[in-house]
Amino acid sequence: MTDNAIPGPLDPEELQIQYAKSFLLQTDNSGLSLYEHLSALLSRILSERPPNALEVFESLSAELHWSRLKQGSDVLRAPREESHTCRKAEVQRALFSRGDGEGEESEAEGEMTESPLPNLLDLAHLLQQGGVNLGRDEAVRISLALKRLTDTHPLQVCHFWGKILGSGGSYLVAEVQFREGEDDEAEEGGEEEEKGEVEDDVEEEENEEAEDLPPKSTYRPPPVIPKEENGTGANKHVYYVCSEAGAEWVRLPPVTPAQISAARKIRHLFTGNLDAPVITYPPFPGTEINLLRAQIARISAGTHVSPLGYYQFGEEEGEEEEEGAVRDTYEENPDFEGIPVSELVESLSNWVHHVQHILPQGRCVWVNTSVKSEEEEDEEEAEEEEKEEENEPEPEVGPPLLTPLSEDAEIGQTPPWTAFLSTHLIPHYALAVLRSNLWPGAYTVSSAKKFENIYIGWGLKYMPEGYSPPAPPAPQAEYPSGPEITESTDPTVEEEQALKAAKEEAEAAAEEMEEEEDEEEEEEDD
Amino acid sequence: MDAETLSLSLELVSGSGPGLSAEQCAALRASLPLLHRDLRLRRLRLWGVVLGLRGDYVIARGWGGPDLLRGQLSFYSLNCVDWCLLPPATDAHIAQTQGIKGRFVGDPAHEYEYIVRNTAGGGDSALEEELTTHIKEEVRLTGTIAMIDREAAVAPRGAYIRNPLGQVIVNHSFRGLEVSEGKKLSSYFHFTPSLNPKKKSLLEKAALDPSIDFLDSLEHDIPRGSWSLQLEQGDSVLILRSLLWLGMTFYHVPLTPLHGHLYIGTGERNLDLPFMI
């Protein structure tokens, strides 16, 4: 392009340079020449002056190419840059907006003293010292999400229970108790309907009186163990979960004993979707929402502990009630003096469980399922009743409430708890940290007077030996085994002949007898 | 995770729960630079924590040479201040540690009893001998760390390159994965020398860059679904958790070179994984 040197023959060197430059200036299909590319690249290197220019030369060159390709978006088309981050940010921004009405604010200020909202930042600080990270920002977000929960529901108690990780997403879990009589969403109607449906089906079957019915199964399912009422036992608390701070809180349904005992037999990771089916053997009755509730109940029963003396049994309960009644309520001990942290770490007997143990039956309070309701009894035959009375099951008894941790069973050879001080360098302000080895991820952090339980983990119980699913049950016998239908081996020739001979002999003997008898008769006749 | 960006990195992996306490964190920031200087290391990273019954091992990983896949040194500390060098992991160590079950105790001198089954002879006349041997916890720790590295250490695609000398070095021009790329398991590599490279078809090879794609991607891991990939903290961090080694968390902030992995767990492999997914 600088072809202004026409006059006079050029010297060969100059000519070479001209040729080389014109080669570099050749453009390819995109209308770009190597000359332009190199000059742009060199000017960028010279302006940025990276320390390792040679090393990054190729990548810088590649980047330049890419940047040229990316420019070509049409002016008319609106750039579509709604990224995930923005959508999440919008959801979270809603958490930070204060109530719109001015009246609400003043109300909120009035309620400030009674609010069940936990001080999550305080909790996060305690946990941070104990070595459990909630994350600074995350703690604020969870706190705001809990605030939203307490604002919209009539709650008496609200705790941040913890977090359960899943393969596709995790759950934040809030443990709440409603104010008495204000639990408007007690979901009992749904299940009653289900039961009704089942009964209808049975009746229909009975009405079908075709002549050639297949034989009816004699299998009788074990009696359904009734679930515990809301507010008692494993259903003492109500749990809300959400996938992320800012997302909608979902109330978990009450847990049934069948779900708890099924959850004990399986090992399953959560997927992060509450409606995901749980496909396992033995089958789990319900979807992930039920499994989550069952695991929460098991984890709470196993790992919610408090320093000895923090809670005490209510005095009303102390009056003698029925024998064998399990005390399931406790109250905060107003005279709790606090236990020195060093003693908390040294001895597990300074810690107690404050959530009831779940019995093998799947309930906290044992129920005798062999006691039938009157209607059922009428239907049944008298014999069976007698039999059942003989096999009256032994009531299952678990450790009572507020049992010290030193009574906990060991897992193989592993102690169930690890206790340590949060710091050895500043023992004056150290905290006692208790880590569950049975439920990895469950932590309890306690200063002398206050404590916090939290669970952050996968919702899996520790198994030292590895899991092996139970074997399928033995196949049922198809027909009653008896001599009429058992196939016998064919007799050999010798046996046949022996049998023949024996028969002949017998016949001969019989004939002889008859003859003799005849003779006798004849004699008598005579 | 690099020792320099410890606090930030811990904040990023905080979604997994157990982490380091403030005191441990502060102690590490004082002791790691000294370790770095005293052993004349080129690079030093915090690798993770192996939780024991009576004490926890904090593990650091150092590199003496330029190659990031070879010549690694592992250090452990029980108090985040005094560091001890672990012996290099050999295949024999790894094989031995596979047989040990149960939790770590937290005492490097603890001896595990371990039963070796030797089969002498072949066929039906094989004689089974049971030999009881003892293994120190230190050795078990070495083997476990090597196993975790082999199966769960992760690097994003493009973060490391192999230079003409065959050394694996940091790619300084790595600008981070895009979110759309980051949602695919094929953008993440096992950061370990590939032992049995998968044979790829010509079509697959066509899109690969030999200086970048020298590692195995996580895409074809068995069992399928042994990784959990999520966006956390308002979808700003890519978090990749290994389900085979529960406790291994990899983080990467999209469009930045910030990435790393941290293991905080019991040091036990999740053998029940096939039943759980």
Distances from the Cα of A433 to the Cαs of A296, A304, A335, B10, in angstroms?
21, 13, 23, 20
Number of H helices, E strands in chain B: 7, 14
**Each residue's pLDDT expressed in tens, for chain A with a length of 526 residues:** 455 555 566 788 899 999 999 999 888 887 888 999 999 999 999 988 888 888 788 888 888 888 887 665 556 666 666 666 777 788 888 888 875 544 444 444 444 456 788 888 888 888 888 888 888 888 888 998 998 888 888 888 888 999 999 988 899 999 988 887 766 665 444 444 444 344 444 444 445 555 677 777 777 777 788 888 887 788 888 999 998 888 889 999 999 888 998 998 888 899 989 999 988 888 888 899 999 999 999 999 889 988 888 888 776 544 444 444 556 677 788 888 778 888 888 888 888 888 888 888 888 888 777 665 444 444 444 444 444 444 566 777 777 778 888 888 777 778 888 888 888 888 888 888 999 988 988 999 988 778 889 999 999 988 888 788 888 888 877 777 777 777 778 888 998 899 999 999 999 988 888 777 666 655 555 5
For residue B186, the one-letter residue type is S
Identify the residue with better confidence: A411 or B52: B52
* Residue that the structure tokens 């072809």 belong to: A3
What is the count of structural domains for chain B?
A: 1
- A269-326 residue pLDDT tens: 999 899 999 888 888 888 999 999 999 999 998 899 888 888 887 765 444 444 445 5
Write out the residues of chain B at the interface with chain A, using a CB-CB cutoff of 8 A.
10-11, 13-24, 51, 53-54, 79, 101-103, 171-173, 179, 225, 228, 230-231, 233-236, 241, 243, 246, 265-266, 271-272, 275-277
- B62-105 residue pLDDT tens: 998 888 888 889 999 998 899 999 998 888 888 888 878 888 88
A84–B277: do the CB atoms touch at under 8 Å? no
Q: How far A115 CA sits from the closest chain B CA (Å)?
A: 27
What integer pLDDT is reported at residue A319 of this predicted model? 43
In the predicted structure, residue B184 carries a pLDDT above the cut 80: yes
Cβ–Cβ under 8 Å, residues A439 and A462: yes
For residue B29, the one-letter residue type is R
Burial of A294 from C-beta contacts in 10 A (0-12 / 13-18 / 19+): buried
What integer pLDDT is reported at residue A201 of this predicted model? 44
What integer pLDDT is reported at residue A215 of this predicted model? 76
Tokens of A207: 């009405």
Residue of chain B minimizing CA distance to A458: B246
Question: Is residue B277 in a domain?
Answer: no
Question: Is residue B96 in a domain?
Answer: yes
Tokens of A20: 């080389």
3-state SS track over A473-497:
CCCCCCCCCCCCCCCCCCCCHHHHH
Residue of chain B minimizing CA distance to A431: B21
What integer pLDDT is reported at residue A191 of this predicted model? 44
- Rounded percentage of chain B residues whose pLDDT exceeds 70: 93
Q: How far A303 CA sits from the closest chain B CA (Å)?
A: 16
Query: What SS3 state is found at A287?
Result: strand
Residue of chain A minimizing CA distance to B277: A269
Q: What is the ipTM, given to two decimal places?
A: 0.88
Starting at the edge strand that comes first in sequence, how are the strands of the sheet with A250-251 ordered? A250-251, A238-242, A171-178, A155-164, A451-457, A442-446, A432-436, A417-421
Chain B residues whose beta carbon lies within 8 Å of the beta carbon of residue A130: 21
Q: How far A8 CA sits from the closest chain B CA (Å)?
A: 49
B246–A458: do the CB atoms touch at under 8 Å? yes
Chain A residues whose beta carbon lies within 8 Å of the beta carbon of residue B238: none
* Residue that the structure tokens 């003859």 belong to: A515
Find, among A262, A65, A265, A58, the residue nearest to B209 by Cα. Answer: A58
Evaluate the CA torsion angle B261, B267, B272, B274 in order and state its sign. positive
B18–A133: do the CB atoms touch at under 8 Å? yes
Mutate to test the interface with A, among B228, B253, B263 (most CBs of A within 10 A): B228
Evaluate the CA torsion angle B33, B39, B43, B45 in order and state its sign. negative
Distance, first Cα to last Cα, chain B: 29
Cα angle A13, A16, A18; round to 5:
110
Query: Which strand (E) or helix (H) includes residue A419?
Result: strand A417-421
What integer pLDDT is reported at residue A103 of this predicted model? 41
What integer pLDDT is reported at residue B113 of this predicted model? 81
Q: How far A406 CA sits from the closest chain B CA (Å)?
A: 16
Q: How far A117 CA sits from the closest chain B CA (Å)?
A: 22
Pairing mode, strands A432-436 and A442-446: antiparallel
Find, among A292, A203, A298, the residue nearest to A253 by Cα. Answer: A292
B23–A456: do the CB atoms touch at under 8 Å? no
Chain A residues whose beta carbon lies within 8 Å of the beta carbon of residue B172: 50, 52, 55-56
Q: How far apart are CA A141 and CA A91, in angstroms?
A: 11
A437–B10: do the CB atoms touch at under 8 Å? no
In the predicted structure, residue B144 carries a pLDDT above the cut 50: yes
Q: How far apart are CA A238 and CA A255, in angstroms?
A: 10
A423–B21: do the CB atoms touch at under 8 Å? yes
Domain residues for the domain of B220 are 6-270
Distances from the Cα of B35 to the Cαs of A197, A270, B32, B133, in angstroms?
71, 41, 5, 34
- B96-130 residue pLDDT tens: 888 788 888 888 888 888 777 666 555 555 566 67
Strand partners, A251: A240
CA A278 to chain centre: 10
A59–B243: do the CB atoms touch at under 8 Å? no
